[in-house]
Amino acid sequence: MEKGKFTYPKEEKLKSRNTIDLMFAEGRSVSKYPLRLVYVPLPENEPGPIKIGVSVSKRHFKKAVDRNYFKRLLRETYRHNKQLLLENQPQPYAYMLMYQTKDRLSFEEINTKTVQLFEKFIAQITAQ
């Protein structure tokens, strides 16, 4: 991957049902209100250095238009800050980035929290 390339290509999207099930069964997580990052090492049969999915709870946002808006914000903050993960992860990981509040935060607030969350994740995996 080229340094400084702010993309979210199809190859980085988490789609595998098996990987998602594995993530929620055996994955670890790190939180920074209002975000939560669940992660698991990427299985050998999955190509690529990173796979990420985003999720917004139907419990907090009943209307699909609201959930889609926050999923779009989460994808955009990931796209802007993914270099933090790519440069510091010791092995390929699959991630699920979740928005877990009813509060309607701005893009700037979510972006700041995403950076803090990624830094907390990096500190956690380097401490292992």
**Each residue's pLDDT tens digit, 14-57:** 999 999 999 999 999 999 999 999 999 987 777 788 999 999 99
Q: Residue 67 has which token pair?
A: 């959930």
CATH 3.30.70.100 for domain 10-127, yes or no, is no
Q: Where are the domains of the chain?
A: 10-127
What digits encode the pLDDT tens for the residues 73-107?
999 999 999 999 999 988 899 999 999 999 999 99
The alpha carbon dihedral of 88, 86, 41, 79 has a sign of positive
- Number of other residues whose CB lies within 10 A of the CB of residue 70: 21
CB 56 within 8 A of CB 85: no
Q: Which residues contact 41 (CB under 8 A, 6 or more apart)?
A: 91, 92, 93, 94
Report pTM: 0.89
